Amino acid sequence: MPTLEEINTANLSALRTEHDSMGNVQVPLNAYWGAQTERSRNNFKIGPKASMPEEIIEAFGYLKKAAAFANKDLNVLPRDKRDLIAKVCDEIIDGRLYGEFPLVIWQTGSGTQSNMNANEVISNRIHVLQGNEMGKGTPYVHPNDDVNKSQSSNDTFPTAMHIAAYKILVDVTIPGLEKLRDTLRVKSDDFMDVVKIGRTHLMDATPLTLGQEISGYVSQLDHGLSALQHTLDHLSELALGGTAVGTGMNTPAGYDVLVAKYIAEFTGFPFRTADNKFEALSAHDAIVESHGALKQIAVSLMHIANNIRMLASGPRCSIGEIHLPENEPGSSIMPGKVNPTQNEAVTMVAAQVMGNDVAITIAGSNGQFQLNVFKPVMAANFLQSARLIGDACCSFNENCAMGIEPNYDGIKKHLETSLMLVTALNPHIGYDNAAKIAKAALKNNQSLRESAISLGLVTNEQFNEWVRPEDMIGSIK
């Protein structure tokens, strides 16, 4: 009997004949997939590197195992077949059979071929585990009658979508966001007394502290995390048990609740059967809603990363109020140049997520009657966004945020020369007189102090008493 490695690395030029309801088809000799997978592999040569995400394949492992357990409990599948199916599903979950899932995202909109890919791989892998050769004899566990029992592609693929989406958010996205949020919170606390000039409309404004400024970023990420976590409840609803159109045809009584219970047990997440299977098959509002939260986070990350790189711009000929870690050379021609590369990576990720949201929005609004037929593209875009955000936050946290430090000289220079400190004089000499001081200072290239005294509107002692940046930052922390 060949090993898994031998099977996965075999020369696929040798073929065997497989048969399905449409007739015969030639399949690579040592591949575990069968006729329906091979038809899809040949019929959808669209972006051959756009493989079905591994998270979806793993999710199929969970749901096929859960279905086998539920079917056994409901006396429609023998114990030995349940155990055989579960054994191969564990191999799928462990990632040992990824090479047996060759299909691309751009296939039928229901994901039918990927569902059959899973059925065929499980059936044929069992056939080999029982000591048989591929293509010889009839598999003991049938791909449709046993592996796919009580299921339809129309309810398995949306279930896989929800399992994969929920799992990646909890395992990757949320932890990455929390790491970055927590680091920025520490930085905000550390720099709460570092007074600097504020900016509105890209123009000088009244002072605040660097800690106050960063606290705004912390709040953005807090709100994004809250929105994302709120969507998990909707994602925890599973379509499995609805079969073809949501009616649950060909399922034993109680199957939908039981299979969701097993999925929850196997994954460790609180999955439950969907309240309305017709919605679960014909619409994917949970994916749209959850990705909307990812888009919100992308908007926040774009804002945060851009602000941080502008505050660090320079180092001598721009704002230059903070220092960022120097990770790599920034130019092949300009010696000593260092660029805010982590910020640029985050902003590119944000742009990609925003684009993915357009695709998901269009896909979620389409599909007619009892089935949305944009499932694979929704799943692929969602999973890409979720992983990109989680990974980008970890990278930005480790290679940028943790190393942010104030540039005290740059902060002092801008603070002392800002014309908007004149705002502190408003209560004492009025808005119009304060404006005269600021305009004259700019026109005559004077400091505010020089302008105020030369105009006879404020004495030196009064200026010292009234214009104190540290007293202009308010009480909000």
Distance of CA 166 to the CA centre of its chain: 11
Using CB atoms within 10 Å of the CB of residue 98, give its burial: 0 to 12 exposed, 13 to 18 middle, 19+ buried. Answer: middle
Residues 6 or more apart in contact with residue 206 via CB below 8 angstroms: 198, 420, 421, 423, 472
201 in catalytic set? yes
Would you write out the chain's pLDDT as a tens digit for each of its 477 residues?
Answer: 444 445 445 445 699 999 888 999 999 999 999 999 999 999 999 987 889 999 999 999 999 999 999 999 999 999 999 999 999 999 999 999 999 999 999 999 999 999 999 999 999 999 999 999 998 999 999 999 999 999 999 999 999 999 999 999 999 999 999 999 999 999 999 999 999 999 999 999 999 999 999 999 999 999 999 999 999 999 999 999 999 999 999 999 999 999 999 999 999 999 999 999 999 999 999 999 999 999 999 999 999 999 999 999 999 999 999 999 999 999 999 999 999 999 999 999 999 999 999 999 999 999 899 999 999 999 999 999 999 999 999 999 999 999 999 999 999 999 999 999 999 999 999 999 999 999 999 999 999 999 999 999 999 999 999 999 999 998 877
For residue 112, say whether it is annotated as part of any ligand binding site. yes
245 belongs to an annotated ligand binding site? no
Q: Name the residue among 213, 44, 237, 71 with its Cα closest to residue 142.
A: 71
pTM: 0.95
Rounded to 5 degrees, φ, ψ at 362 are: -65, -45
Options 13, 21, 201, 475, the catalytic residue: 201
8 known member of a binding site: no
Q: Is 143 annotated as a binding residue?
A: yes
Look at residue 4 in the predicted model and tell me its pLDDT.
44
The answer to whether 454 is a known ligand-binding residue is no
Residue 110 in marked binding region? yes
Q: Binding residue per annotation — 65?
A: no
Strand partners, 322: 406
Domains of the chain with bracketed CATH? 15-149 (1.10.275.10), 161-407 (1.20.200.10), 419-471 (1.10.40.30)
d(CA 351, CA 290): 17
- Residue 108 CA to residue 373 CA, distance in Å, equals 7
Q: What is the C-alpha separation between 148 and 83, in angstroms, rounded?
A: 15
Tokens of 11: 């020369």
According to the 3-state scheme, what is the secondary structure of the chain?
CCCHHHHHCCCCCCEEEEEECCEEEEEECCCCCCHHHHHHHHHCCCCCCCECCHHHHHHHHHHHHHHHHHHHHCCCCCHHHHHHHHHHHHHHHCCCCHHHCCCECCCCCCCHHHHHHHHHHHHHHHHHHCCCCCCCCCCCCCHHHHHCCCCCHHHHHHHHHHHHHHHHHHHHHHHHHHHHHHHHHHHHHHCCCCEEEEEECCEEEEEEEHHHHHHHHHHHHHHHHHHHHHHHHHHCEECCCCCCCCCCCCCCCCHHHHHHHHHHHHHCCCCEECCCHHHHHHCCHHHHHHHHHHHHHHHHHHHHHHHHHHHCCCCCCCCCCEECCCCCCCCCCCCCCCCCHHHHHHHHHHHHHHHHHHHHHHHHCCCECCECCCHHHHHHHHHHHHHHHHHHHHHHHHHCHHHCEECHHHHHHHHHHCHHHHHHHHHHHCHHHHHHHHHHHHHCCCCHHHHHHHCCCCCHHHHHHHCCHHHCCCCCC
| CA–CA distance, 61 with 82 (Å, rounded to integer) | 13
Query: Can you tell me the distance from the alpha carbon of 234 to that of 464, in angstroms, rounded to the nearest whole number?
Result: 59
Q: Which of 226, 331, 365, 454 is catalytic?
A: 331
Asked whether residue 475 is marked as a ligand-binding residue, the answer is no
Neighbours of 158 (CB within 10 A): 31
Tell me if residue 331 is catalytic.
yes
d(CA 360, CA 330): 36
Largest CA distance in the chain: 104
20: which strand partners?
23
209 in a labelled binding site = no
For tokens 């119009």, what's the residue? 432
